[in-house]
Amino acid sequence: MPDAMYRFPKGFLWGTTTAAHQVEGGNTLNNWFLWENEPGRIKDGSKSGLACDWWGGRWREDLRNAAEGGQNANRFSIEWSRVQPSSDRWDSAALDHYREMLAGMRQLGLKPVVTLHHFTDPIWIYEAGGWENDETPWHFEQFVRKVVTAFRDEVKFWVTLNEPNGLVVNAYVDGRFPPGKKDFKVAFRGVRNLMRGHARAYHAIHELQDDAIAGYALYYRGFLPKKEWFFLDAMVTRMLSRNLNEIFSTAIENGSVKFILSRDLVKEAIGTQDFIGIQYYSSDLVSFNPVKPGELFSRREYPPDARLSENGFMANVPQGLYQALDWARHFRLPIYITENGVEDSEDTLRPEYLVQHLHQVWRAANFNWNIKGYFHWSQIDNFEWERGWSQRFGLWGLDVATQRRIHRKSVDLYARICKENSVSSEMVRQYAPRVFDLLFPS
């Protein structure tokens, strides 16, 4: 049978994403170290421990595996608490460590994409109120200035904040992240200060580096009304999207920060985005629920025909990624999928999830939407925040006790995609035959 092929644009970036606390290990300086040591905070009772031992040097092995797998870019984060362990001290040895990593990436042919804040704060920031404190945006700007000054000759592509909308919901609405509060008014202070922090970081980056590309990475959740004809389902669906997917993008468009019933102006945020970073994992069907004001009068469920991940944590809804890209293209900026992946310790769903989502990326690119790259979450299993080691998102598996890297078939599938800059019918037939007819109908 002749092969069919979905080809991606020339120069497309292919990579994976990691976050410092989730892979480095041994960090006792940030708020997540404190959080892990509070009973009941982590689902499986585990701790990050050595994580993937990147601080001990195992980043070399993982990034070599990435490069040998055809990847040409890598998104990773620099841990604020390592670089500035106290308000009055900068750690030059930590900067040297990251400089060595950047040199290693260049030698491997990986373009570095650096995230400056990926969910963690130094303990001294956390104990002063974290993002509830109006001084935190200023402190974050000083950290950004230190890092950009150190690495501006080696890094052009900066992500100021990772999923600030997701951070607000997890930390101040659902209470799953530190500080574990459930208060919409406190959440609004977090939104406003994260927006200010992003704006300060963006302006500092461009002041220090003329050729920089800067923006933030948005957590985009797909929402569709369960009954499209029912106006209350449509209303709460729109409300959810506005208060999760759009709170930061709206502020960047017009300076207006709105969350639930609170609003403010952050004029310095207007236009502080050189690209759109989309992080998409799954989608929900939404229906009106009059007895759930804390959930914006909504009930969320996965589409009944979607395959669920092994812990039921997410559903495979690739059309939601297309929905996210359709939303993002209206900003008329380059678009990068900065995270996308699925928990799957047995590596049975991941190949299907990967090719189906990449097919949606190809559809968008085929319409000449400005899609520039895709970063899979993640290169290797890592400590998944409040879910600990109970979830496995890596292309490569990890035996936490021995630090042994485990080769999964998704490694080979993603390597072929990256090297050939395409998804072919032959790849899908070999690695994800169950979805072949969906991607290549007769």
Per-residue model confidence (pLDDT) at position 303: 96
**Lookup result for tokens 């009106």:** 288
Per-residue model confidence (pLDDT) at position 33: 98
More confident of the two residues 2 and 153 = 153
Structure tokens at 327: 């939303």
Per-residue model confidence (pLDDT) at position 296: 85
CA 405 and chain centroid, separation: 23
Q: What is the 3-state secondary structure (H, E, C) of 72-121?
A: CEEEEECCHHHHCCECCECCHHHHHHHHHHHHHHHHHCCEEEEECCCCCC
Asked if residue 319 has pLDDT above 80, the reply is yes
Nearest of 177, 198, 166 to residue 271 by alpha carbon: 198
3-state secondary structure at position 31? helix
pLDDT in tens, 32-87: 999 999 999 999 999 999 999 999 999 999 999 999 999 999 999 999 999 999 99
CA 253 and chain centroid, separation: 22
Per-residue model confidence (pLDDT) at position 394: 98
Q: How far apart are CA 172 and CA 294, in angstroms?
A: 12
Q: How far is CA 39 from CA 45, 320, 355, in A?
A: 8, 36, 39
More confident of the two residues 319 and 257 = 319
Whether residue 224 contacts residue 285, with contact meaning beta carbons closer than 8 Å, is answered with: yes
Please state, as a whole number, how many other Cβ atoms lie within 10 Å of the Cβ of residue 207.
Answer: 11
With a CB cutoff of 8 Å and minimum separation 6, the contacts of 32 are 21, 48, 119, 120, 178, 385
Asked if residue 1 has pLDDT above 80, the reply is no
3-state secondary structure at position 368? coil
Task: Tell which CATH classification among 3.20.20.80, 2.60.120.620, 3.55.40.20, 3.30.470.10 matches the domain 5-439.
Answer: 3.20.20.80
Per-residue model confidence (pLDDT) at position 2: 56
Average pLDDT over residues 9-18: 98
Rg, C-alpha atoms of the chain: 21
Nearest of 163, 160, 1, 7 to residue 80 by alpha carbon: 160
3-state secondary structure at position 49? coil
- Pick the range with the lowest mean pLDDT from 15-24, 256-265, 426-435: 256-265
Q: How far apart are CA 308 and CA 129, in angstroms?
A: 37
Whether residue 431 contacts residue 355, with contact meaning beta carbons closer than 8 Å, is answered with: yes
Per-residue model confidence (pLDDT) at position 87: 97
Average pLDDT over residues 397-404: 98
- Pick the range with the lowest mean pLDDT from 39-43, 225-229, 409-413: 225-229
Please state, as a whole number, how many other Cβ atoms lie within 10 Å of the Cβ of residue 353.
Answer: 27
pLDDT in tens, 90-135: 999 999 999 999 999 999 999 999 999 999 999 999 999 999 999 9
Query: How would residue 3 be classed by pLDDT, with cut points 50, 70 and 90?
Result: confident
- Pick the range with the lowest mean pLDDT from 289-303, 316-330, 354-368: 289-303
pTM of the model: 0.97
Q: Is 180 exposed, middle or buried (0-12, 13-18, 19+ CB in 10 A)?
A: middle
Asked if residue 253 has pLDDT above 80, the reply is yes
Long-range contacts of 247-251 (CB under 8 A, 24+ apart): 247/165, 247/168, 247/191, 248/164, 248/165, 248/191, 248/194, 248/195, 248/198, 248/216, 248/218, 249/218, 249/331, 251/195
Mean pLDDT of the chain: 96
Asked if residue 294 has pLDDT above 90, the reply is no
Average pLDDT over residues 437-442: 93
